[in-house]
Structure 1
Amino acid sequence: MPPREGGTPPPPGRGNDELRLYGWNAVQALFDKRPQALRKLYLAESLIPRLQPMLKWCVSNRVGYRVVEEGDLNKLAATTHHEGVVADVLRAPMLELGEWLGTLPAGTPALALWLDGVGNPHNFGAILRSAAHFGVAGLLLPPGSTLALSGAAARVAEGGAESVPLVRLPALPEAMQQLRDAGFGLAATLVDGGDNLFASDVPARLVYVMGAEGEGMDRELAQDCDAQVSIPGTGAVESLNVASATAVLLAHWYGRQAR
């Protein structure tokens, strides 16, 4: 058994290129897809058997790990929702739009999300989870966006954060032109006033443009899109939140492609 050290481990001095992950699925997904990004691992003693492959990799690659008490894990993660494991990791690099488009096989269906003002980490995590489930090819972030993956978002995503790349967009006219040149249609998603989603055409290459949680999406941006769609419902509630709406939109596109 690795040595147990008393006291709370000191902060690792993380910069913008580093991230503290916690939660079993988030850490395991990181290890499965980008083990070289792992910088330090903290775990509860009860997880030693379950994490044997990861611990052996750490030993072989000289990556430090420590068995710590529950209270130390709570402090490291700044939450009790860590499921016994915390990791310091390097962030996945954000792609430029042209670079991302170059990774897509020519002529194949592809779905992307343009996040115009989404900021809540739990909503972001839920969006990532749905995006991974339905095979979204990328999350597109406008210029100046401060949205970035956090530990909280990665935990809510339940491993989905490692499956969906983040893409930095250029200025709006250039971004739209590049996407259209690559065969994408752009659909603005509105709380109301758009065409019925379930009666609308769904192109094989599509970008759903999602607005902010509170004020919705920019109306000028919505008008510049090729289509404007809304999710019909009973009217018993004013609207779905952005994460729930995203899941509906993605399921609709995915179902149409599966026909």
Structure 2
Amino acid sequence: MRRDPPRGPRPPAGAGPWDRASGGRAASRPPPVAAPPGSREEAAASRPERAAELRLYGLNAVRAAFARRPQALRKLYLSEARIPALQPLLKWCVAHRIGYRVVGEDDLHRLAGSGHHEGVVADVLREEPSPLSNWLRDLPAGPLCALWLDGVGNPHNFGAILRSAAHFGVAAVLLPKHSPLALSGAAARVAEGGAEAVPLVRLGRADNAAAQLRGAGFALAATVVEGGADPFAAPLPERLVYVLGAEGEGMDRELAAACDLRLSIAGTGAVESLNVAAATAVLLAAWRARR
């Protein structure tokens, strides 16, 4: 006896049948569904493109990716409770034959590798950082701020930095040539949509990158624990790159020495310093206050 194929959730209200690729005639079959999470089929389907795909989770992270680049969506998993909130996304899946599946809390937890999935997990195509020369070529005139992350590696700090960068309108986050830092599901979730609002840019050799940035009118500001000027009192150039050091070791000394100015955030001394994500928010507020 032939078994019917597994069905996904009922198609969203108002979503019509999609056309068959071969003839353009309307199809009456149900929308495609992703393979069951954790199954052999799911593992096989994701293996070839694993490096090219990013697994997002969290409502704002998934919504932001869909709003900016819906064509990047490859698979979607959601809880039944999220169906009403994700109707536009589900309609897109129906219209473009993207597999989706309603799954339980345990499955979402396993797929996300986290309990902070907020009822939705999506696989999307990864967006690679742009080369510095391309980013500089397309810059608008006027005041701009960018962040150079020298050794930052914690994904939660990276996500918090992206969230602050989006809030304050940062033009880009600059990643050193050999930095392993890349957007992850955890970083995108912490960024709450900010990962889609701020471009990532890949630098070349540090001295060449600094020269290119200065040629485009940027000054480089080293952020140091002590001995720098107060960012709320010092004159900050209209086009500025904050250079931020690693969570533990701080900035590379040679890079700090090569910067045009040095800035420190004053505090009580009860702790050595702010962590890099908190410091970023303070520094961006200082720059934005001048604009």
| TM-score, with length taken from structure 1 | 0.95
> Structure 2: where are the runs of 5+ without partners?
1-8, 11-29
Q: For 1:152-205, what per-residue CA distance to the aligned partner results, in whole angstroms no more than 9, with x for missing partners?
A: 000000000000111000111110111000000000000111122222111110
Q: Name the CA distance, whole Å, in 2 between partners of 1:7 and 1:114.
A: 38
Counterpart in the other structure of 1:189: 223
Counterpart in the other structure of 2:136: 101
Q: Name the CA distance, whole Å, in 2 between partners of 1:254 and 1:8.
A: 46
Cα deviation for residue 16 of structure 1 reads: 2.3
Counterpart in the other structure of 2:90: 55
Query: Secondary structure of 1:180's partner?
Result: helix
Counterpart in the other structure of 2:282: 248
Query: What amino acid is the match of 2:136?
Result: L
Query: What amino acid is the match of 2:81?
Result: S
Query: Secondary structure of 1:198's partner?
Result: coil
CA contact (8 A) 1:197 1:232 kept: no
Tell me, yes or no, if structure 1 residue 64 matches structure 2 residue 99.
yes
Q: Name the CA distance, whole Å, in 2 between partners of 1:228 and 1:32.
A: 38
CA contact (8 A) 2:172 2:199 kept: yes
Identity of aligned residues (%): 67
Tell me, yes or no, if structure 1 residue 112 matches structure 2 residue 131.
no
Q: Which has the larger radius of gyration?
A: 2
Q: For 1:24-46, what per-residue CA distance to the aligned partner results, in whole angstroms no more than 9, with x for missing partners?
A: 00000000101011000000011
Tell me, yes or no, if structure 1 residue 165 matches structure 2 residue 195.
no
Q: Give the alignment of 1:3-18 within 5 angstroms.
A: 8-9=38-39, 10-11=42-43, 12-13=46-47, 14-18=49-53
Cα deviation for residue 51 of structure 1 reads: 0.7
Q: Name the CA distance, whole Å, in 1 between partners of 2:247 and 2:262.
A: 18
Counterpart in the other structure of 1:26: 61
Counterpart in the other structure of 1:74: 109
Q: Name the CA distance, whole Å, in 2 between partners of 1:6 and 1:221.
A: 49
Bigger relative contact order (CA 8 A; separation at least 6): 1
Counterpart in the other structure of 2:242: 208
Query: Secondary structure of 2:101's partner?
Result: strand
Q: For 1:36-80, what per-residue CA distance to the aligned partner results, in whole angstroms no more than 9, with x for missing partners?
A: 110000000111111111000111111111111111111100111
Q: For 1:70-107, what per-residue CA distance to the aligned partner results, in whole angstroms no more than 9, with x for missing partners?
A: 1111110011110000000011231000101122113x
Q: Name the CA distance, whole Å, in 2 between partners of 1:92 and 1:6.
A: 26
State which of 42, 57, 78 in structure 2 corresponds to 1:43: 78
User: How many residues are paired up?
Assistant: 256
CA contact (8 A) 2:220 2:261 kept: yes
Query: What amino acid is the match of 1:121?
Result: P
| TM-score, with length taken from structure 2 | 0.85
> Structure 1: where are the runs of 5+ without partners?
none
Q: For 1:124-167, what per-residue CA distance to the aligned partner results, in whole angstroms no more than 9, with x for missing partners?
A: 00000000000001000111110000000000000000001110
Q: Name the CA distance, whole Å, in 1 between partners of 2:67 and 2:245.
A: 32
- Name the Cα RMSD after superposition: 1.4
